Amino acid sequence: MLINLNGNLVPKEKAVVSVFDHGVLYGDGIFEGIRVYSNNVFRLKDHIERLFDSAKFLNMDIGMPQEEMVKQVVKTVKANKLKDGYIRLVVTRGVGDLGLDPKKCTEGVTYFIIAANITLYPEELYVKGMAITTVAVRRNLSETLEPRVKSLNYLNNILAKMEAGNHGSAEAIMINNLGHVAEATGDNIFYFKKGVLYTPTLTSGALGGMTRRTVLEIAKELKIEAVETIVTRYDLYTADECFLTGTAAKVIPVTKIDGRNIGTGIPGAETKKIITAFKKKTTSLGVKVK
């Protein structure tokens, strides 16, 4: 496996970062998780745009234009001959000194790109649907750490995931300080009610997911009414169908929430339509690497 470390392809063993890197010391950094489907890097340019927006929020200069980062990703995928898989792109503030002042990072950002694989949930859950639970840990607030920034601070989500695990659940639904549903720990959430598709607004505390965006585009194409709105647990419990979306998760049906069956307790017909349409898009929308 070859890792792209600051533009150089190096073997896995040599791909190391300094203990004085502020990504390690303070979580001062950002990342993207991107999938490759049949030699197509899905929505690559959109992922890089989101990365640069995260950097902008953190006032971090990535030191290259977006097009160059696209090329670095393509280079890494080609070097690893990755036809289907998962890309992890990380950018940190770079090597500094002790003390959290980012001005100490005078050498510029550190970046690395891993082209490998990922499995989030067991395959059987895609067929029978998953049971998930709401948790006590709240989603980050935009007043503290803006949840739309895909930063290296995922403790909030990790605590939520652990809490779900303690309840025997594979995934958590995260609620914000107002009691509104935000998203899952690494996935956005959608539900169907009387043929209309709903998902929480980004200001509820959701990441602007690429899979979420794709599903909203699919809804438009299939002439399904889709609404971004405030969602509470009531809406989820009384939904006809529910599913999660994410790069790692893809589109996965949810059939039980907090012990309540969603609809009839099996993956819904509308959800299956979305999954079929999503699969088609994964190989057409993006940057080809062959």
Catalytically annotated residues = 150
The span from the CA of 152 to the CA of 80, in Å, is 25
| Residues 182-202 as b or e (16 or more Cβ within 10 Å = b) | bbbbbbbbbbbbeeebbbbeb
Contacts of 58 (CB under 8 A, 6+ apart): 28, 30, 93, 149, 151
CB of 229 to ligand PXG, least distance (A): 17
CB of 99 to ligand PXG, least distance (A): 29
CB nearer to ligand PXG: pick between 105 and 189: 189
CB of 34 to ligand PXG, least distance (A): 8
Q: Which residues of this protein are in contact with ligand PXG, per CB under 6 A? A: 33, 118, 120, 157, 183, 186-188, 207, 209-212, 245-248
* Residues 115/80, Cβ–Cβ less than 8 Å: yes
CB of 207 to ligand PXG, least distance (A): 4
CB nearer to ligand PXG: pick between 199 and 245: 245
Residue at token pair 């970046």: 111
CB nearer to ligand PXG: pick between 164 and 207: 207
CB of 219 to ligand PXG, least distance (A): 15
3-state secondary structure labels for all residues of 10-30: EEHHHCCCCCCEHHHHHCCEE
How are beta strands 172-175 and 130-138 bridged, if at all? parallel
Q: Which residue is nearest to ligand PXG (CB)?
A: 33
CB nearer to ligand PXG: pick between 190 and 192: 190
The span from the CA of 161 to the CA of 89, in Å, is 22
CB nearer to ligand PXG: pick between 118 and 178: 118
| Residues 110-142 as b or e (16 or more Cβ within 10 Å = b) | bbbbbbeeeebbeeebbeebbbbbbbebbbbee
The span from the CA of 70 to the CA of 50, in Å, is 12
